[in-house]
Each structure stands twice: as structure tokens, then as C-alpha cells.
């Protein structure tokens, strides 16, 4: 018994020392990571993890339900689509044709109102919010320096950094875009309780505005700029300028870094559903017009869905770009295979939400086979 007591005592001491080391080295965010993600058997963030974090509500107004196509759900999923859905754990697959829901199906206990994590699809929402702030004059243009809002970026290479560089992923920030390493800055951002402090310690180490490099820190800093420029938290700003005007049917949640006056994780983490996410695809397809009201400047959208850099044709300003089967698509895209895919000429929007994507953790890979499948099989279904 004495031996057991000694062992227990030493274990407590070791545990206390470990906790102390985490706080001393400013890696105590790992405690939260273990509690919310790793101890639950996950290696990275997962679809319903918003339950584990503090959130701010994105309020909705008068709902504008989607119309249903005259051929609603008359088509059946192709065998290839079924295989992909089963293999990667799809929870929602929706095809919207001519602004009407043509097909939808939900899986694994999810339904049309179930919330799941947007992950980096939120980057497209932030881009829309940037466009609105420019339209209203709160931000002068895509060329306005970040240093106008945060003097920490007013010297050296940082002085050259613009809001457009952040939106187009060309900031030159020293950022490690690794989702599975517990020690990367991206992982730290997911669990850290003071995102503003963390971001203001990030440095610009490469010439901004020269080339594309996907970094979540870009969007986090851009969200902070929008908040400072507009004087509103991101959730309220999104609600007032988009969620309500677009007639979202369900309120949504946006993860924040701390309970008291928290800052939204701008690079990710809006919890909503397929139908409401799809509204942003329609808004951009229609170049910013919704019910005859111009919510966003059409020129801003036209610029957003074209590549900024010739050598990086896969990205514009907050939106992914893809040519498939001689058709140009633009899309919202998130970790683990969250997609809102738009083909404007065909007036088609494809939404897929799910637990996994085909290629794993590297978000810098241009496109993976599952995206091609979700597009190809939608068109195969529409040709039945």
C-alpha cells in the first residue's frame, strides 16, 4: 500500500510539473486540445466539434426557403457516388438546379437542419464580408494596407501587406499550415484563447502580393481587420449583411476563442447546414444580387472568382477555382471535404458535407479525386 501511495504521489508531481511546463512554454492550449479533440478519439477537428467550444450565434431573420424543382429527388444516386459517399462518410449531398433543389440526401443521422463545421469554407464568407466592407467604404479597397488597422504591420515587409494579399493567400506570413501536428501554429490557433495576441506576433517574412501560398493565418488576420474596420464582431456582421438578407432558415454558430468577448476563428468554424451554405454559392453565381437587391458589388465578385496569379489558377480571392470537363467551377472548400461547388453557366450548385476527404490533411493540394466525383456524378445524375 505504501508503494502504491508513493507511485500515486510521484504521478501527481509529474502531472503538476507537466501542466506547469505547458503554461510556462505557452503551450497550455494542448490541454484544451486533449479535452476537446484527442481524448475523444479524433486526430484533428471534426464535424460536430462546435459543441466543445464557445460559440457566438449568427442570427437569422425571415426565412426564404429554397424552391423545389419539378423533378425533385426523381433521380437516383449513381453507384459511383454511393461508393464515394460510403467511403468518405458523406452527411449531405445536394444539387440545386436553376435555383431550385433538384436532389438532396442526408446520411449518418444528419438531416437538412443538422449543423456541421464549415471549416475553411468560412474563408469564402470572410471574403464576402471584405467585399461588403469595401462596398460600404469601411475599407478603402483591396489595396489598403493592413498597417492602417494594425500598426504591428507598418514596418519592413509588413508595411507592404494589403487586405487583398490576405484574401488571395499571398501575404508572406511565417505560418505553418499543418492540421495534424499538435505543435503547429494552425493547431494552436484552433485552441488558443487569445487569437488577436497570437496573430499580432506573426511576422511577414516574404514579399507580400507576389505568389499564392495557402495560410489560414491570412484569413484570421483579415477577419480582425474587418472587425476593426466595421466596429462589429464577425458574427453580427455576417448576420446583418448576409444571413438575414439571404433568408437563411437556421441560425448558425461561429466558434470564438474565449467566452468573454471572444474573437471568431475567422479562418474556419461556422456551424450550419447544406441548404444555408448553398446561399453563398447562389449569391456569387448571381454576382451579388439577391431578390433584386445588390448585396455585393458585381465587380468585386468577378475579381474574386478569377485567379490572381497566373501560376496559381486554383485560387482567386477567398474562392477555389477549377476547370473540369471544359467547365469553369468556383467553390467554397473546407477541411475533411466540405464543398459548395458552383457552375454559373449551367446554373448548378453542388453541396457536399462529410467526415472525410480523399487526400487527407494537406490543404495545399490543388484538388482531390472526391471533388471530381461529386461534380461528375451530379452531371451523370442530371443526364439520367
Phi, psi angle pair for 371, to nearest 5°? -60, -45
Regarding whether 72 and 20 lie in a shared domain, the answer is no
Regarding whether 373 and 269 lie in a shared domain, the answer is yes
Q: What is the pTM of this model?
A: 0.92
Q: Can you give the CATH number for the domain in which 347 is found?
A: 3.40.710.10
Regarding whether 342 and 367 lie in a shared domain, the answer is yes
Regarding whether 138 and 208 lie in a shared domain, the answer is yes
Regarding whether 270 and 367 lie in a shared domain, the answer is yes
Regarding whether 141 and 19 lie in a shared domain, the answer is no
Regarding whether 306 and 292 lie in a shared domain, the answer is yes
Q: How many domains does the chain have?
A: 2
Each residue's pLDDT, cut to its tens digit, for the chain (384 residues) gives 566 655 555 555 544 444 455 445 566 677 777 888 888 888 888 999 999 999 999 999 999 999 999 999 999 999 999 999 999 999 999 999 999 999 999 999 999 999 999 999 999 999 999 999 999 999 999 999 999 999 999 999 999 999 999 999 999 999 999 878 888 999 999 999 999 999 999 999 999 999 999 999 999 999 999 999 999 999 999 999 999 999 999 999 999 999 778 999 999 999 999 999 999 999 999 999 999 999 999 999 999 999 999 999 999 999 999 999 999 999 999 999 999 999 999 999 999 999 999 875 455 567 889 999 999 999 999 998
- Name which of 326, 327, 354, 328 is nearest 339 in CA terms: 354
- Residue 174 grid cell: 511565417
Regarding whether 23 and 50 lie in a shared domain, the answer is no
CA 235, chain centre distance (Å): 14
Regarding whether 161 and 30 lie in a shared domain, the answer is no
- Name which of 88, 109, 112, 128 is nearest 338 in CA terms: 88
Amino acid at each position: 500500500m505504501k508503494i502504491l501511495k508513493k507511485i500515486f504521489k510521484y504521478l501527481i508531481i509529474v502531472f503538476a510539473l507537466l501542466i506547469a511546463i505547458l503554461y510556462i512554454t505557452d503551450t497550455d492550449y494542448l490541454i484544451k486540445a486533449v479535452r476537446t479533440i484527442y481524448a475523444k478519439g479524433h486526430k484533428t477537428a471534426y464535424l460536430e466539434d462546435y459543441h466543445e467550444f464557445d460559440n457566438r450565434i449568427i442570427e437569422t431573420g425571415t426565412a426564404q426557403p429554397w424552391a423545389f424543382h419539378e423533378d425533385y429527388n426523381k433521380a437516383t444516386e449513381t453507384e459511383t457516388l454511393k461508393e464515394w459517399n460510403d467511403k468518405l462518410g458523406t452527411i449531405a449531398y445536394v444539387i440545386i438546379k436553376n435555383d431550385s433543389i433538384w436532389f438532396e440526401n442526408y446520411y449518418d443521422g444528419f438531416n437538412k437542419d443538422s449543423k456541421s463545421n464549415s471549416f475553411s469554407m468560412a474563408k469564402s464568407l470572410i471574403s464576402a464580408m471584405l467585399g461588403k466592407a469595401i462596398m460600404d467604404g469601411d475599407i478603402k479597397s483591396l489595396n489598403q494596407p493592413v498597417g492602417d488597422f494594425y500598426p504591428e504591420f507598418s514596418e519592413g515587409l509588413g508595411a507592404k501587406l494589403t487586405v487583398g494579399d490576405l484574401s488571395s493567400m499571398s501575404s508572406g506570413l511565417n505560418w505553418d499550415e499543418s492540421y495534424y501536428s499538435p505543435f503547429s501554429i494552425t493547431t494552436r490557433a484552433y485552441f488558443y484563447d487569445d487569437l488577436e495576441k497570437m496573430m499580432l506576433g506573426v511576422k511577414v517574412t516574404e514579399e507580400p502580393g507576389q505568389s499564392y501560398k495557402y495560410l489560414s493565418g491570412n484569413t484570421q488576420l483579415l477577419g480582425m481587420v474587418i472587425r476593426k474596420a466595421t466596429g462589429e464582431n464577425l458574427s453580427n456582421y455576417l448576420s446583418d449583411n448576409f444571413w438575414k438578407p439571404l433568408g437563411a432558415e437556421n441560425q448558425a454558430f461561429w466558434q470564438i476563442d474565449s467566452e468573454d468577448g471572444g474573437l471568431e476563428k475567422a479562418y474556419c468554424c461556422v456551424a450550419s447546414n447544406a441548404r444555408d451554405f448553398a446561399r453563398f454559392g447562389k449569391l456569387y453565381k448571381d454576382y451579388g444580387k439577391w431578390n433584386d437587391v445588390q448585396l455585393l458589388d458585381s465587380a468585386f465578385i468577378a475579381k474574386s472568382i478569377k485567379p490572381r496569379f497566373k501560376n496559381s489558377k486554383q485560387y482567386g480571392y477567398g474562392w477555389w477555382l477549377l476547370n473540369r470537363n471544359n467547365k469553369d467551377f468556383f467553390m467554397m472548400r473546407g477541411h475533411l471535404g466540405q464543398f459548395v461547388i458552383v457552375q454559373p453557366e449551367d446554373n448548378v450548385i453542388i453541396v457536399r458535407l462529410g467526415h472525410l476527404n480523399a487526400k487527407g490533411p494537406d490543404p495545399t493540394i490543388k484538388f482531390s479525386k472526391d471533388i471530381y466525383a461529386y461534380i461528375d456524378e451530379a452531371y451523370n445524375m442530371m443526364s439520367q
